Structure 1
Amino acid sequence: MTEFLIGVVAVLAVLGLFQIFFLRGPDLRAFDGPVGQRHGVDRPPSAEHGALVSSLGGISAALKSVPRRQHLAWLRRYMDTAFPLDDPSVRIIPADAGGVPAEWVLAPNADPERRLLYIHGGAWTMGSPTSHRRLTAKFSEVADAAVLAIDYRLMPEHPRMAGIEDCRTAWRWMTDHGPEGAAPARAMFVAGDSAGGNLTLSLIAWLRDQGLRAPDAAVALSPATDATLGSPSLKGNLETDPMLGPLFKALARIPRTMLLWGGWAQSRRRPCHPVVSPVFGDLSGLPPVLVQASEAEMLFDDARRYVNKAVAAGSPATLQTWPHMVHVWQLFHPDLPEGQEALREIGAFLRARP
């Protein structure tokens, strides 16, 4: 009996060490310091933001009447209809980006030699170019660029790496193709929100490592950067995040160990591998990066730690935060004043590049 207990303790010890060193990755608490450029700290959130927060409760209520096995399909339909583009002056041109379904989004007078790859969010399981047209149209306007919005492969129908490969393929294709056909680009950018922000930051590190053309700048909105679930704000902001909080409250009750093993099984990558957790990678030698996040959202520390680590590595990264906003509040422009403000900052950042 004693030998059996000793064996059990030894196995548990090995599994614990494996989790710490193989799944969790290095300790990132050293990058919990500076917050960056804080906006809106001298004023309360707008009335429009209050109305938005109230409306989000309707999503959770509606999901309660949907069978759990149909939740993903329901959320996908919701995302594709929640943010319609109502500007007839914006052109939408279907594209095949080297085998990746995509569309060009062009605001009036957008420069086709300035190109921006946009990678939509949606927890790697939902979202599309259609769901983000209102935002990609605004990016085209503020960046004075043709935006290539890609329909990368989603989970669970496809493995995590399939979407990552689609982003890489689309970037290489965009270097030589514009909305009017084959033509070189004068300036190139990449941007994404949430899961798309994760894919954006993963892409720029891969381009550096491959010696391929780097973007002139990158923008990540509320990016997920740490798949090990180590950011304090994941739990600390659970109650202040009206969008992600209700959706992921159940996951917060599951032991982190189980979630880490599940993440490894799902992606076949260590949760701390830089391809899925950009914050754990080498963040030196990156192009200028602008990250925007809400101090109230669950992914706040994902954003803060990434920028602080990139700055420590010598890369020109900037963090801009707002104190009360919902996750990816930029999507809710033009109704949301804070969304308009954030997009003006993005425009100034991108237009400062050639």
Structure 2
Amino acid sequence: MLWILLAIVALIIVATLVLFRLEDLSHLDSHDYPVRDGHPSEANKKVLGRIREMGESGRGLRGRARLMALRKHMDGLSEGLELESEFRHCPEPRGEWVIAPGVDTARRVLYIHGGAWAAGSPRSHRAITDRFSHIANAAVFAVDYRLMPEHRYMDGVRDCRRAYSWLLENGPDGPEKSEFMVIAGDSAGGSHTLGLLAWIRDNGLKQADAAVALSPSTDLTLTAPSNRNNISTDPLLGPVFGGLAKIPLPVIWWATWAAFRVSPTSPVASPLRGDLSHLPPTLIQASDSEMLLDNARRYAGKATAQGSPIQLHTWPGMVHVWQIFTPLLPEAEDAFDDIGTFLAGVKP
């Protein structure tokens, strides 16, 4: 019996090495990226309180009930905000147009929300999409892509691809070619954003003029140092995903493959693991205290080395995707000013 057990263990080890062949990206961790001066504002205390409320929303619940509570709480993030944009439902492709007064609808932003591919919606991210419409002078389409676990990971990817292809030829008032296209997203949606750029390049579509990724995932292998080093300093992701640090990485890779039905080493799930050449101007924003910091740093370092124009701007002590707390948080307003400056420098 012992030899059978050893044979099974050996087989699993070999299968892991074959299926999850990893390029060592640790050399990218030596890049020195500056962090903005300053400390979190007083308003950050209120933000931390709201994050604690989010954690409390699922207390005592498990499984689907916990997920549904999280979704409901996230959808409530935009309640009470005074937003000037028009919010217009779109049934096909499924999503929501966000149109600030007087914007040029031939200029468009595809926005892909975050939420760990299992939560979030166009409604939950209205604070962000409203600001994007203003600063980009564009009609924003927030795609309502299919979420896990009801759907497969690739279903959501296909929804984003389809939405982008459709936006090239359609505006909020019907068929109209786009004159300026931006793809933007946060966290999981930031990962979808970066993966979409490579898909557009590889499939011969008109490339986006620019992209913005807010605290993007970039890599599901969890091999970046901050994935473990910043657990205690990340008040949003730390309590949810910090426990993964106790699990051997190969076990996490197998579990990810089972849940996503895509290898965590695939560029579709981990854009960092793909070809990052010939991509459009891209701005990445991240916080120096979040678990995904080094995911952003590694992506910026590799893309720059492969000739793509990538900027990484880092804020001190901010929560993951702090931009969603505009206008409460001054640093969120600073981030949108930064995005506006970046987009103003991009020529269609």
Is the partner of 1:118 in helix, strand or coil?
strand
- Say if 1:85 and 1:134, in contact at 8 Å, map to a contact too: no
Please list the CA deviations of residues 294-353 of structure 1 after superposition, one character each: whole Å capped at 9, or x if unmatched.
Answer: 110011111110110000111001111112000000000111011111111111111222
Change (3 A) 1:178 1:37: farther
Change (3 A) 1:304 1:160: same
The residue aligned with 1:87 is 82
The residue aligned with 2:28 is 31
The residue aligned with 2:320 is 327
Larger mean Cα displacement after TM superposition, 274-283 or 62-71: 62-71
Please list the CA deviations of residues 223-252 of structure 1 after superposition, one character each: whole Å capped at 9, or x if unmatched.
Answer: 011111111111111110001111123333
Is the partner of 1:191 in helix, strand or coil?
strand
Larger mean Cα displacement after TM superposition, 127-136 or 248-257: 248-257
The residue aligned with 1:159 is 152
The residue aligned with 2:42 is 47
TM-score by length of structure 2 reads: 0.95
Is the partner of 1:38 in helix, strand or coil?
coil
- Say if 2:228 and 2:242, in contact at 8 Å, map to a contact too: no
- Say if 1:144 and 1:351, in contact at 8 Å, map to a contact too: no
Q: Give unpaired runs (5+ residues) of structure 1.
A: none
Counterpart CA distance in 1 for 2:6 and 2:227 is 31
- Say if 1:122 and 1:195, in contact at 8 Å, map to a contact too: yes
Please list the CA deviations of residues 33-78 of structure 1 after superposition, one character each: whole Å capped at 9, or x if unmatched.
Answer: 2243522x2x221011123123322332342233444110000000
- Say if 1:241 and 1:297, in contact at 8 Å, map to a contact too: yes
Counterpart CA distance in 1 for 2:162 and 2:57 is 37
Matched, 1:139 2:132: yes
Larger mean Cα displacement after TM superposition, 57-66 or 205-214: 57-66
Change (3 A) 1:85 1:134: farther
Q: Quick one: which of 297, 300, 317 aligns to 1:304?
A: 297
The residue aligned with 1:343 is 336
- Say if 2:57 and 2:70, in contact at 8 Å, map to a contact too: no
Counterpart CA distance in 1 for 2:182 and 2:57 is 37
The residue aligned with 2:67 is 72
Counterpart of 2:26 in structure 1: which amino acid? R
Matched, 1:192 2:185: yes
Counterpart CA distance in 1 for 2:143 and 2:341 is 24
Counterpart CA distance in 2 for 1:335 and 1:35 is 31
Change (3 A) 1:299 1:88: closer
Q: Quick one: which of 229, 232, 237 aligns to 1:236?
A: 229
Q: CA deviation at 1:259?
A: 1.6
Larger mean Cα displacement after TM superposition, 99-108 or 233-242: 99-108
Percent of residue pairs bearing the same amino acid type? 46
Counterpart CA distance in 1 for 2:77 and 2:133 is 20
Larger mean Cα displacement after TM superposition, 209-218 or 15-24: 15-24
TM-score by length of structure 1 reads: 0.93
- Say if 1:122 and 1:194, in contact at 8 Å, map to a contact too: yes
Matched, 1:171 2:164: yes
Counterpart CA distance in 2 for 1:85 and 1:117 is 24
Counterpart of 1:295 in structure 2: which amino acid? D
- Say if 2:283 and 2:313, in contact at 8 Å, map to a contact too: yes
- Say if 1:24 and 1:228, in contact at 8 Å, map to a contact too: no
Counterpart of 2:27 in structure 1: which amino acid? A
Change (3 A) 1:72 1:20: same
Counterpart CA distance in 2 for 1:302 and 1:20 is 22
Counterpart CA distance in 2 for 1:323 and 1:284 is 29
Counterpart of 1:245 in structure 2: which amino acid? G
- Say if 1:310 and 1:316, in contact at 8 Å, map to a contact too: yes
- Say if 2:83 and 2:130, in contact at 8 Å, map to a contact too: no
CA RMSD of aligned residues (A): 1.7
Counterpart of 1:60 in structure 2: which amino acid? G
Q: Quick one: which of 204, 213, 235 aligns to 2:197?
A: 204
- Say if 1:84 and 1:133, in contact at 8 Å, map to a contact too: no
Change (3 A) 1:239 1:88: closer
- Say if 2:54 and 2:73, in contact at 8 Å, map to a contact too: no
Counterpart of 1:94 in structure 2: which amino acid? H
Q: CA deviation at 1:27?
A: 1.0
